[in-house]
Amino acid sequence: MEGDAGSGQLTPTPPLQADETVEPDSGLTTPNSTLATSRWLIGVCAAIAIAAVVLTAVGVLALVGHRKTAAATDGEALAVAVAKDCITATQAPDVKAMAESRRKIIECATENYAPQANLYSGLLTDAYEAAKAQVTISDIRAAPEKHNPDGSIDVLVATRVSMSNIDQQNQELSYRLRVRMVKVGDTYKIDSIEPVSK
C-alpha cells in the first residue's frame, strides 16, 4: 500500500503548534518590492535611451566622416588629373604646338604662380624654336603625395620623354616634379612646381 502513496504519505506533515498559523499566499507584493521593480524598469529604459543616442551619434559621425573622405578623394583625383594635364602641356610635340601649350600653361597657373608660368612658357617657346625641338611623351604618371594644412595638395608627376633637336635624336629624358595644386573655383591650378631628385 505504501507503494501507491505519495511522498506526503511517507513523511507526514507534523501537526501545527498552538502559536503557528498558515498564511495563504495573497499574490500581492509589498510597497518596497514595487518601488524596486519600478526603479529597475526606469534604469533599463534609461540605459536603452542612452545606447540609442550613442548609436545615433556614432552613425552621424560615420556618415559625416564618409562624406568628408569621399569629398577629399574626389578633390584629390581632380587635382591629380589637372596636374598631369598641365605638365603634359609643357611637353609640346613641336614648335607649331607651342602656342596652344603656352596658353594652357598660363591657364593652369594660380595668380601666385602666373609670373613664373608666363616666363617659363616664353622661354620654352624660344628654346623650341632655336633647337627645332620635337618631343614625344613616352610615359607620364601622377599621384597625390600629401594634403597641406592650407587645403592645397602636393602631386608627384613623373615623366619620360623622347626629345630630338638639331644636335641629338631621340634622347631619352625622365624627371619628377612636385606640383602644388590649389583649389580655384571648381578646379585646381598649379601654385608651384619644384623638381624632385631621384
**H-helix segments, 90-160:** 98-107, 114-131
pLDDT of residue 53: 77
What does the alpha-carbon distance between residue 102 and residue 92 come to, in Å, rounded to a whole number?
A: 9
Number of H helices, E strands in the chain: 4, 4
User: Which of 7-11, 76-80, 89-93 comes out lowest in average pLDDT?
Assistant: 7-11
pTM greater than 0.75: no
Start-to-end CA distance of the chain, whole Å, equals 106
* Residue 142: other Cβ atoms inside 10 A: 22
Residue keyed to cell 620623354: 161
pLDDT in tens, 34-60: 777 777 777 777 778 787 777 777 766
Strand, helix or coil for residue 129:
helix
Give kind and range of the element (H or E) at residue 72: helix 31-89
